[in-house]
Structure 1
Amino acid sequence: MTGKDRQGVAILSDCPLQRGRLQEATGKFGLTTTFIGDSERLMGWPTMPEPDLWLLSLKDEADHPALFDYLLERTDAPILFGLDPAPDSGSTEYFRWERRLLAKLEKQLGPLEQLDDSGSLEALDEPEGSAAPQRLQRPHWIPSVDRSQPAEEVWMLGASLGGPAAIKAFLDQLPEDLPVGFVYAQHIDDHFTDVLGRVLGRHAHYSLKSPEPGDRIYPGDVVLMPVENEWMVDREGRLQPKDNDWPGPYGPSIDQVLLNMADYYGARCHAILFSGMGNDGAIAAPLLRAFGSRIWVQESASCGNSSMPDSVAATGCASFAGTPGELARQLVQTIEESCLLRGRPPQTSA
């Protein structure tokens, strides 16, 4: 819904904590708050708020007959009540509660998550012949890779709004021949995947590729997960489509991609969560971290929208946060340290 005016909600609750959590959650979805308070404050308000939707979270709705009469007489906006109380922030249950709230909001207001459109993607493209960005040098302790062998280690790159710019900056700075593969899950309209692939691959050593049934993930691959249906990795390490859509409101589901990759790769599957709205990734990332995966996030100030990486960071599972450039440097350093620990010899000149 890029370009659409921000919609507003009015929040009514007799619990200050619930009011705060509803305001925080709706803000993640790009909604403004036109009013927040309890029934007494509303009835004393000088002018009637005019939101697109009323959110009511009351301990006992039967105790507020005058409030419902007041609203029905003065507003034409829909009223959403019977909301579950919000659990503790940062918990898995909290993020599940946010997902349920999002589903209810979208039922009333339509799709809320903003996605990059063709215009914002085209703006990332450089003219033909433009200078390539400065790349990191591959440390000599990282040996040349055998591209005929599948990648032992996979990094999942997850993003939504503002993600393509961040992912491009990240990939553009990576040196070639890193012994890892990438899986890229981007909330985007399926019509723009060709534009995304062209723009991101202009200067990077890593070009996007769409998966085919039976494909393996090789070093240097950046496999772009399709939007329209779920994909998994079978017991032989081959990518396979499933007959169902991705779970959740947007595809591909970053949580599900993480879980599907981890089913095969285990602790050799890591993740970096880049710019995006919502909290996709915040449920699966802590599970992967508990089994030894690395979970990194883009730091807030460099994001087009920081809700997604901030949600993952709020779980306490992220071990590193940085700009796209800092994330690229951290990845190269981490791979180098891993090679040193394995005792691999430095590469030699031909």
Structure 2
Amino acid sequence: MTAEVRPFSVAIVSDSALQRRRLQDAVARFGLEVCFTGDPARLIGYPTVPDVQLWLVALEDEADHPSLFDFLLENTEAPILFGVDEAPNPGSTDFFRWERRLQDKLEKQLGTLEQLDDPVSLEALNQDPPVAESPRRPTWIPEATRDQPAEEVWVLGASLGGPAAVKAFLDGLPQGLPVGFVYAQHIDGNFTDVLTRVLGRHAHYALKQAEPDYQVRNGDVVLMPVDHEWYLDSRGRLQQKDTAWPGPYGPSIDQVLLNVADHYKDRCHAILFSGMGNDGAIAAPLLRAYGSKIWVQNSDSCGNSSMPDSVAATGCTSFVGDPVQLARKLTQTIEESCLLKRKQQRDSA
């Protein structure tokens, strides 16, 4: 049985309730688990010293808490980050710079971390103007039956900045395409309902939660859960494992690609959208060996291009574009496939 991979754990000590809250929100978006948050007096009076990988200490005046440093040095061997800057108001330019500095400090101790979208950025997508009428489906693409299992499945992989990119991609698709999607988005599990609400407004490509024994159908955008690994059984139906996704973030995009391709083979394709890290770069060559198509979002349109750039660096990608261009390319690819099938049927008649 695969061992569960747990996130790095941290403890936050600050004499400001506002700073504790902002630090807790920030480190959670980096995929870290906060095991303790409180002021110095609460920590010193705590029954047991939390067992964490890192301590974050942000005090208004360090001279006000002389016993705190002796306490930490005597009771923990984990690294201690003193003098964390005061967090500005969220949403400001200064706040994003502060968050970037905090991430740099954390990565010096814990290695590469990946920032995740938060509820504020997700809800902001709801403030967009109403979606324009979707493009018309090309004449040569017959309208797909919604309740029929999808013959081809595209895995949409994304992280930081991904929801906005995936939304723009879905907005750019005509209705009735004979395709289903599996959506693997790095996100805190507490924000899944927000993501579902924001992206669930599409009438033509409906975002839905994965369910056991469900088979991906035309028009589906099936959201992979964060907590446990999912795979496709021999019938092509979704099933949940008892174990967590491998790696530090859920869902693991690499593992989603491998699990879906294990059933669909060359009928499984992938588009990697905005995100940090390199998730997807391991599975991309294996999918390419099946004959699958691997596309990525271009750097200029990404909130963070590390993930699609890493996949592109494998040499497995056959198309690069912004979300709207990716939608057009998919429509064109399906149209060409339909024309080829039509020609083959005519030649064999």
Scaled by the length of structure 2, the TM-score of the pair is 0.67
Corresponding residue number in structure 1 for 2:110: 109
Query: Aligned partners of 2:173 and 2:227: how far apart in 1?
Result: 29
Query: Aligned partners of 1:265 and 1:107: how far apart in 2?
Result: 41
Q: Does residue 1:207 correspond to 2:192, yes or no?
A: no
Corresponding residue number in structure 2 for 1:232: 231
Shift of 1:161: 0.3
Query: Aligned partners of 2:165 and 2:240: how far apart in 1?
Result: 27
Query: Aligned partners of 2:196 and 2:132: how far apart in 1?
Result: 18
- Measured against aligned partners, the alpha-carbon deviations of 1:222-277 in whole angstroms (never above 9, x if no partner) come to 00000000000000111000111000010000000000000100000000000000
Shift of 1:290: 1.5
CA-atom RMSD in angstroms: 3.1
Corresponding residue number in structure 2 for 1:290: 289
Query: Aligned partners of 1:147 and 1:167: how far apart in 2?
Result: 21
- Percent identity between matched residues is 72
Query: Aligned partners of 1:332 and 1:162: how far apart in 2?
Result: 23
Shift of 1:303: 0.2
- Measured against aligned partners, the alpha-carbon deviations of 1:138-194 in whole angstroms (never above 9, x if no partner) come to 001000112232101000000000000000000111111110000000000111111
- Measured against aligned partners, the alpha-carbon deviations of 1:109-165 in whole angstroms (never above 9, x if no partner) come to 3882100000000111137xx532242210010001122321010000000000000
Query: Aligned partners of 1:174 and 1:344: how far apart in 2?
Result: 25
Query: Aligned partners of 1:297 and 1:4: how far apart in 2?
Result: 33
Shift of 1:291: 1.3
Q: Map 1:136-151; keep pairs closer than 5 Å.
A: 136-151=135-150
**Cα distance, 1:171–1:180 mapped onto 2, change above 3 Å:** same
Query: Aligned partners of 1:278 and 1:220: how far apart in 2?
Result: 29
Corresponding residue number in structure 2 for 1:189: 188
Q: Does residue 1:123 correspond to 2:100, yes or no?
A: no
**Cα distance, 1:207–1:107 mapped onto 2, change above 3 Å:** farther
Shift of 1:203: 4.3
Shift of 1:339: 0.4
Query: Aligned partners of 1:342 and 1:223: how far apart in 2?
Result: 27
Is residue 133–residue 173 contact of structure 1 (8 Å, CA) maintained in 2? no
Is residue 197–residue 207 contact of structure 1 (8 Å, CA) maintained in 2? no
Is residue 141–residue 344 contact of structure 1 (8 Å, CA) maintained in 2? no
- Measured against aligned partners, the alpha-carbon deviations of 1:9-32 in whole angstroms (never above 9, x if no partner) come to xxxxxxxxxxxxxxxxxxxx9xxx
Query: Aligned partners of 1:287 and 1:108: how far apart in 2?
Result: 33
Corresponding residue number in structure 2 for 1:177: 176
Give the gaps of 5 or more residues in structure 1.
6-28, 30-51, 53-76, 79-104, 346-350
Corresponding residue number in structure 2 for 1:259: 258
Is residue 199–residue 207 contact of structure 2 (8 Å, CA) maintained in 1? yes
Which one-letter code corresponds to 1:192 in the other structure? F
Q: Map 1:1-350; keep pairs closer than 5 Å.
A: 108-109=109-110, 112-126=113-127, 130-203=129-202, 205-343=204-342
Query: Aligned partners of 1:160 and 1:196: how far apart in 2?
Result: 12
Which one-letter code corresponds to 2:312 in the other structure? A
**Cα distance, 1:336–1:202 mapped onto 2, change above 3 Å:** same
Query: Aligned partners of 1:245 and 1:278: how far apart in 2?
Result: 19
What secondary structure is seen at the aligned counterpart in 1 of 2:177? coil
Is residue 134–residue 175 contact of structure 2 (8 Å, CA) maintained in 1? no
Is residue 122–residue 163 contact of structure 2 (8 Å, CA) maintained in 1? yes
What secondary structure is seen at the aligned counterpart in 2 of 1:123? helix
Query: Aligned partners of 1:198 and 1:111: how far apart in 2?
Result: 30
Give the gaps of 5 or more residues in structure 2.
1-9, 11-21, 25-30, 32-53, 55-77, 80-105, 345-349
- Measured against aligned partners, the alpha-carbon deviations of 1:22-48 in whole angstroms (never above 9, x if no partner) come to xxxxxxx9xxxxxxxxxxxxxxxxxxx
